[in-house]
Amino acid sequence: MPFVNISLRAGQPPAYRQAICEAVYQAMRETFNVPEDDAFMTVTGHEACDFRYGRSYLNVMRSDELVFIQITANATRSKEQKKALYQSLARRLGASPGVRPEDVFVNLIEVAPENWSLGHGLAQYATT
């Protein structure tokens, strides 16, 4: 049950933003075994003055087309699955909508399963 927040510079058309969502969803399905219809995402466009980043931090040359992808997910995935997710995201976003691999910035936040309530005031993933 990942929850995804996507941040980018303002001004991208709806089709571009939806292509990002679809690429993220498909990458999570491919690498994190996310079930069908488990797609919970927000996309936020920021004005240039509200979108700051290191242009060359760690020798990665980023542009103003940078996309921040923050994924909150259960702490159940292996290091290999995480690496596969990052690779899949870069590949899929490159294919559509054409984001350069240097402009795919991913932050994974892992939480305990009981930290979710998906409605009705219940902790659906809590085991006890």
CATH class name, domain 3-115: alpha beta
Contact at 8 Å (CB) between 20 and 97? Answer: yes
Comparing CA positions, the residue from 68, 81, 79 lying closest to residue 28 is: 81
Q: What is the pLDDT of residues 45-83, one digit of tens each?
A: 999 999 999 999 999 999 999 999 999 999 999 999 999
Indicate the domain borders of the chain: 3-115
At residue 114, the pLDDT reads 92
Catalytic residue among 2, 13, 97, 113: 2
Provide the 10 A C-beta neighbour count for residue 22.
16
2 is catalytic: yes
At residue 112, the pLDDT reads 94
Q: What is the pLDDT of residues 93-122, one digit of tens each?
A: 999 999 999 999 999 999 999 999 999 999
